[in-house]
Amino acid sequence: MPLKWLMSDRRFTYWAKSGLLLLAHQIIATEGVIWLTIIGTLMLRGFIRSLHESWMNSSFMKAMHLIVTNTPFFPVQIALGAYLGWRISHLGWRSRTMFWVWVLPGAVLVYAIVALPTISRWSTAETGPISHYLGWGCRADHQCYDQLMITQPFYTSAAYSLGAACAFHKCKAQRQVL
C-alpha cells in the first residue's frame, strides 16, 4: 500500500523524471560527445585513406592526431559538446538538468587533482597535479590516459551545459521580442 502511494505522488514522479533526464544528458554530454569524436575521426581517416593512402602520414593527419588526443584542452570535443548542448536544447529535449551535467565530472576532476597523483600505472610523467590533469604533463602518446578519462569528460560536459544555456537564453530573448 505505501508503495502505491509513493508511485502516485507527483513529487516522486517529478524527481524520477528529473533524475532520468539528468542521467540521459550526463551520458550524452560525456560519453556521447567522446564517442562521436572518435567515430568522426575514424570516418575522416577512412575517407582520407580511400582518397590516397600516402596522405595517412601527412602533416594534416599528424596535426589531427595531436589536436584530438594529445592537446590538453580538447578543442574538437569542446566544440562538439557545445554544439550538442545547443542542438539538443533546440530540438525540444530541453531541461534545466542540462545545466548541471558538469557537476559530477567537475567533482571527479577536483578529487583527482587533490588526491590522485596519477591513475595510469604506465605514466612516467613527474609533474604536479595541475599540469598532469590540466596541462601538458600527461599525454596519450606517453601512455598517460588520465586527461582522457578525467579531464575530457569535464570539458565536454561543461561545454554541453554552456551550449544549452546559450540556446536557452537565445530562445528566451526571441520570445520576449515576439
Instruction: Give the pLDDT confidence of 18-36 residue by residue, as tens digits.
Output: 888 888 889 999 999 999 9
Mean pLDDT to the nearest integer, 39-58:
82
Question: Which of 139, 135, 138, 147 is closest to 70 using CA atoms?
Answer: 139
What is the number of domains present in the chain?
1
Say if residue 159's pLDDT is above 50: yes
The residue count of the chain comes to: 178
Task: Please give the residue that has the higher pLDDT: either 101 or 117.
Answer: 101
Q: Cell digits for 45? A: 581517416
Give the span between the Cα atoms of 160 and 83, in whole angstroms.
7
So what's the pLDDT on residue 6?
Answer: 53
Q: How far apart are the first and last CA of the chain?
A: 50
Say if residue 1's pLDDT is above 50: no
Q: Which of 15-19, 111-115, 167-171 has the highest mean pLDDT?
A: 111-115
So what's the pLDDT on residue 158?
Answer: 96
Contact indicator for 98, 171 with CB cutoff of 8 Å: no
Mapped onto helix, strand or coil, the DSSP state of residue 40 is: helix
Mean pLDDT across the chain, nearest whole number? 82
Q: Cell digits for 18? A: 528529473
So what's the pLDDT on residue 2?
Answer: 56
Cα atoms in the 13 Å half-sphere on the side-chain side of 70: 11
So what's the pLDDT on residue 82?
Answer: 94
Mean pLDDT to the nearest integer, 110-133:
78
Q: 116 lies in which domain range?
A: 2-177
